Amino acid sequence: MSTFPFSAVGFDLDGTLCDTFRDLGAAVNHALRLGGLSEVSVESSKDLIGGGAKIMLARAVEAQGGLPEPEFDALYKQMLRFYAENNAVHTVPYPGALEAMDRLASHGVKLAVVTNKFEAFATSLLGQLGLSERFVTIIGGDSMGKGPDGKFRAKPLPDPVIEARARCGGGRFAFVGDSTYDVAAARGAGVPVVVAAYGYCDKPPHELGGDAVIDSFHGLIPALERLG
């Protein structure tokens, strides 16, 4: 019987499991071009990530003075259409990710993805990368439906993390993410959270309030063992 302290581990996708910023940045720039706005540098697009594609585009547009809502919504739809067709051009798992997941699986640990990317996009991307079968469940930003406020029940709400734990059979669950959204969701769900300092952190990694901070996937298993 495995003595590993967690029965399941959940991962954020963008900036945690996979390095996705180049494809996300290309989708944002596609929308900006259509709107007659200036493109962002692909490298700086990392700073826009967090909270989902709509928030990412909104940050880029607002930095240039904003747009009327109908125009923004039209660009957002174009961004989604482009990303659906180009979401795995440059995206790759982070170094050490596959090995870490193999080690977790060898301990009988179930794996989940909890992302604010729409479920269809997350499933498509992970499928193209040959990773889908590793996960018991893939929960996207739209998977939990909308709350009374009309907004998707996504991170930073704890709902998707709680659901991921349930789909993994309950038991001890830990979450790995790179943003305030991830830490807040894990905290709300009452599960420990490991901060991926190599990702697209929206605050300095050690200020995000995680239970552990790792500089690469090579530190994940030891961090989880310490937390257990």
User: Any idea what DSSP says for residue 47?
Assistant: G
**pLDDT tens profile 39-61:** 999 888 888 988 888 999 999 99
User: Any idea what DSSP says for residue 94?
Assistant: P
User: In the β-sheet with 8-11, what is the strand arrangement from edge to edge?
Assistant: 137-139, 110-114, 8-11, 173-177, 193-196, 212-214
Burial zone of 131 (CB within 10 Å; 0-12 exposed, 13-18 middle, 19+ buried): buried
At residue 50, the pLDDT reads 82
Q: Is 12 a catalytic residue?
A: yes
CATH topology of domain 21-85: DNA polymerase; domain 1 (1.10.150)
Q: Where in the chain is the domain with CATH 3.40.50.1000?
A: 8-20+91-227
Asked whether the predicted pLDDT for residue 80 surpasses 80, the reply is: yes
Asked whether the predicted pLDDT for residue 1 surpasses 50, the reply is: no
Q: Where in the chain is the domain with CATH 1.10.150.240?
A: 21-85
Percent of the chain with pLDDT over 70: 99
Domain 8-20+91-227 is classified in which CATH homologous superfamily?
HAD superfamily/HAD-like (3.40.50.1000)
Q: How many CA within 13 A on the CB side of residue 135? A: 24
pTM for this prediction = 0.93
Cα 135-140-146 angle, rounded to 5 deg: 140
CA nearest neighbour of 84 among 23, 146, 3: 23
**pLDDT tens profile 107-131:** 999 999 999 999 999 999 999 999 9
At residue 11, the pLDDT reads 98
Find out whether 216 and 94 touch, Cβ atoms under 8 Å: yes
Mean pLDDT computed over 7-11: 98
Of the listed ranges 47-61, 68-82, 201-215, the one predicted with least confidence? 47-61
